[in-house]
Amino acid sequence: DIVMTQSPDSLAVSLGERATIHCKSSQSVLYSSNNKNYLAWYQQKPGQSPKLLIYWASTRESGVPDRFSGSGSGTDFTLTISSLQAEDVAVYYCQQYYGSPFTFGPGTKVHIK
Amino acid sequence: EVQLVESGGGLVKPGGSLRLSCAASGFTFNSAWMSWVRQGPGKGLEWVGRIRPKTDGGTTDYAAPVKDRFTISRDDSSNTLYLQMNSLKTEDTALYYCTLGQGLLPGWGQGALVTVSS
């Protein structure tokens, strides 16, 4: 199974400041035949279901604000919130969908400093 | 708009069984890959398994912790996804989400709570 790790576990950021979350996979999730990284990011706000934010490592889901961006390739990925808003308080999970079982990272909790 | 509504959660004793249902709407269910994901109390997300559309064989895959105990099925005539859970263990206690997709999961239900306790 592909093991996903995230850092940090928790992150306190001031409103309007940048938040950066790292995700690492135990093996590459880059599929060479199409040059796509099978890596997604989900946001889970308190008391809500998870919501897909980013897929193919850097493509924003429809309706997701452009302050959210994803980057990285192979085994190392980053989710950046360029200017943190109050409504961004949530747990963020990375997930690989390269191969079954489709594993998630342990999550990073983002809160306001 | 994708809508997924789970039902059937509850309290069950270890070794018992429970069946969850998920009513789907807002997309073409009979051609959709569907999955179940669970979240233990205060824990992260765990993919449980998936089912292919009948046009792709309708077959299933499961995560190791639930293989041979859980069964995913679908009724395309009623747009309903099911999760049959047998031989339940205390560690199966979780909120179970019905999701659209197989790996990439663009749609999630609100979850059904399953508590396994004596």
In order, the DSSP letters of A20-59 are: EEEEEESS--EETTTTEE-EEEEEE-TTS--EEEEETTTE
CA distance B30 to B41: 32
pLDDT at residue A16 in the model: 97
The minimum CA-CA distance between A27 and chain B, rounded to whole Å, is 17
Number of neighbours of residue B29 by Cβ within 10 angstroms: 20
The minimum CA-CA distance between B112 and chain A, rounded to whole Å, is 11
The minimum CA-CA distance between A99 and chain B, rounded to whole Å, is 8
pLDDT at residue B73 in the model: 98
* Interchain contact A33–B (C-beta under 8 A): no
- Chain A residue with Cα closest to B43: A106
Contact B106 A50 (CB under 8 A): no
Strand partners, B45: B39
Query: Can the peptide bond before residue B65 be classed as cis, meaning omega within 30 degrees of 0?
Result: no
CA angle B9, B13, B16 (to 5 degrees): 80
Structure tokens at B79: 């747009």
CA distance A57 to B87: 38
| Contacts by residues B60-65 (CB-CB < 8 Å, ≥ 24 positions apart) | B61/A100, B63/A101, B64/A1, B64/A101, B65/B91
* Interchain contact B41–A (C-beta under 8 A): no
* Interchain contact A95–B (C-beta under 8 A): yes
In order, the DSSP letters of B90-105 are: GGG-EEEEEEESSSS-
Contact B44 A107 (CB under 8 A): yes
Instruction: From A101, A4, A95, select the one nearest A44 (Cα to Cα).
Output: A95
Residues of B in contact with A1 (CB under 8 A): 64
Contact B103 A38 (CB under 8 A): yes
Identity of the residue in B47, B109, B111 whose CB atom sits nearest the CB atom of A102: B47
Contact B104 A42 (CB under 8 A): no
Contact A100 B45 (CB under 8 A): no
* Interchain contact B46–A (C-beta under 8 A): yes
Backbone angles phi, psi at B92, to 5 degrees: -85, -5
Residuewise pLDDT in 10s, chain B (118 residues): 999 999 999 999 999 999 999 999 999 999 999 999 999 999 999 999 999 999 999 999 999 999 999 999 999 999 999 999 999 999 999 999 999 998 999 999 999 999 999 9
Helix (H) or strand (E) holding B19: strand B18-25
Contact A38 B106 (CB under 8 A): no
Residuewise pLDDT in 10s, chain A (113 residues): 999 999 999 999 999 999 999 999 999 999 999 999 999 999 999 999 999 999 999 999 999 999 999 999 999 999 999 999 999 999 999 999 999 999 999 999 999 99
